[in-house]
Structure 1
């Protein structure tokens, strides 16, 4: 494994950065969610990420590898694949197709624009090593936006006639995510610069200007939606 290779090479390594995810937390028990929030992954993806997160942490403690664990909250921005909710909404809105929401759409996430996330990662990598090695950092804005609000913003910013359509909820759906980003702010003086509405407008403009990039991925718009009872919902 990569972690085992890091152990073998640790004397020649400055730092090993593991990109985990906020999904390891599951639904928020308390908000905002700090790095000390309980880990309760609710999907196979989140469970696999949690296992990797804890494996790297165990190597930091046991083998003293120069590791850092980063837990980004939901990223979005240009070039994101269409199976993700924001680009899927954007492309469907540009085609005036229905925007499909699982459940009520009241579920919230902490949406972080991709350049803000990259700057946070770069800041951690280039920070004084004694401040960051062995640490876990959230990367998020500290603000929440619901799926329903995103659909409404996308319709507004694209001037789309797409209807918003609700279907059954997905299994393992996280209900609420909001990061506590005080630790990374205090340690490396990072904070997000792009508001959600600004980032969404930038993302929409990119997809408008680059239809050649996503038209070949149009098949992703026709993937079935998995509902809570295991049934596929085809568009």
Structure 2
């Protein structure tokens, strides 16, 4: 399931395991929060583990252990490496008889495991490209009761870069800046947001000139993932 489809669904799609997978960590965290907020029991009954600090046996025991106060619990596991891959068989066995009192939510940034069992819902948290970023920013303004035209949104995406956490912060700052005015204009964006896209290209140039290959590749992949045309990047570097 696509992340947007999950967050916009009117109810919580039923599952014993929710797996938020993909390279966009901001969306994975946003998805976990959305999941938690949709069940009243989970407001006070959520437990969070990191894969480096827990074994599968401990995780499974926590899932099956009833709450003292009753109700459902949400057990979150942040997979820092290959936990889901290494315990694929145990996960599939668990899904044949899942806990009646616990729900497991996995956050995984790497390659997703192939789990064919029923009862698991995979939410794709992919890096958003330019058009998707425009839609995401527009929806964020609308959630905050603001109207915004495409020119202002496109300018914000171009100047703010492709980092979703930063873009969300920019949206919040702009909303505070315009106050009671409902409409957000390109002038508002220009007044508050510096051009981060140019900064990223400059950082790429410095990394390439300093022969820091890993850093240069990281910045290059980020720019390409967010829709920066490769010929344009080459032109900027040459210039």
TM-score by length of 1: 0.26
Q: Which one has a larger percent helix, Structure 1 or Structure 2?
A: 2
Bigger radius of gyration among the two = 2
TM-score by length of 2: 0.26
